[in-house]
A and B are shown apart, each in its own frame.
Chain A
């Protein structure tokens, strides 16, 4: 008799944080964003997803935490299937932290309140408990001195670091980065990548949509190149950059490197 029969039925194994099978997603306008897409991400793995714009990279991330609903296929996050069950959906949303290209900080709340909000509302923490965690995270991302400031008083790099801290405050098991550095001035990209690098070193499972090839090469374990909703190539990052197998991958890399 297995100890966890229902999870075994789902083909759950402890190492896989993300299990996507044959996921299809077509937008209302008829644009195919994901076309029978399958992907496994192991615990603690850093996966970088690259590809031309419109390849479905953002959609991939957004389907994982339920920002977009999939048309067919299956997604299992840390053993929980993403289905119509609302309890499951909520459990998955709480396991996943997300960082957006446009930061999406709450402009009417101070930095500290931004990070406290979900801790208070979702985790029902006391103000003191939330403050302790918030200040610790702000210290880690290097913006503790801005705790009482409002988002629009911060630089883009600082805002994005606050956004990362806000997502981390809920102790997610997976972090999604949707072009987290694309809206930043060049001199601020480094400070955000540093925070992401530290996070990877601490063993966080990360899915990163990015155009930062240096980061992909240095930090990621695996790279997925996708186009038109399909996986073109998937390889360990060292191999991906030195010996790409597909002609399309080589072409893409030569364009952006």
Chain B
């Protein structure tokens, strides 16, 4: 195949011009008609601030929000993967009971608005969950190392109760989608592979573990990674239950500074900072797997 030359036609030029025109018009509307005073200079102080007491630069609201989003997404992803796999296995189980249970769960999660699920979980279950984990009772003074650990990996002890419940809610909700991906992956394997396993005397679990899953993991990787990127985006909805992640910090900041456009554009850029590298990673992964498959074919 010949490499495609990058060339601009007249139509491309016109479209670009049109796009630039629309953007310029929007900018004009905002600055002239709304009489909006742009103040980008105020934004950096909300990313990092100089702490005079300790003489160090410290993360401020937005950066802290970004880190919270990162922690939230990381743990929720891991939990969603584990739980999603379990649900997928239940959905293809021999037991009708398990199949119905798993089916009900995925249908509920996929057919309810995420916001409603978040509220339901938060108000009905959060208290129970926190009571069970006992994480609401960490005494900051008596366990300084535990406080540090909790602050680095989860949230400061005072916020850990809502953080953990948000985490679990997010993971449970996303696990329904993970389960569908895993189930579709398993079902995509030709029936003959199961039959060969059966004929060789392998148990159902052994067939899955040594024959079916190794073949399907490759196929599941791209959609799973894509789902994890959308988990990062979906994590913004927990701002409604006052988890201090990026979107929450953005809305708080906007309310106190009225720098509407600057704040939300910055927040958008920060989300892109998280999701765009992930998307590129997914793309790379895809290409690599395709190459591997081509070589083995």
Residues on A lying within 8 angstroms of B by beta carbon are 65-67, 90, 93-94, 96-98, 100, 102, 104-108, 117-118, 121-122, 150, 152-153, 166-167, 170
Contacts and interface: CB of A to CB of B under 8 A. Distances in A.
Contacts of A167: 199-200
A198 to B, nearest CB: 21
B198 A67 contact: yes
B192 A122 contact: no
A153 B196 CA distance: 20
Contacts of A102: 192
B210 A66 contact: no
Given A102-B192, A108-B215, A90 B201 contact: yes
Nearest to A122: B201
A90 B201 CA distance: 7
A57 to B, nearest CB: 16
Contacts of B210: 117, 121
Given A121-B210, A152-B297, A104 B193 contact: yes
Given A94-B201, A170-B201, A100 B215 contact: no
A165 B24 CA distance: 72
A97 B199 contact: yes
B200 A170 contact: yes
Contacts of A94: 201
A211 B198 CA distance: 25
A66 B201 CA distance: 11
B199 A96 contact: yes
A108 B198 CA distance: 18
A65 B242 CA distance: 59
A229 to B, nearest CB: 21
A167 B198 CA distance: 11
B206 A108 contact: no
Nearest to A97: B199
15 contacts: A65-B198, A66-B198, A94-B201, A96-B199, A97-B199, A98-B196, A100-B192, A100-B195, A102-B192, A104-B192, A107-B215, A118-B200, A118-B201, A122-B201, A152-B296
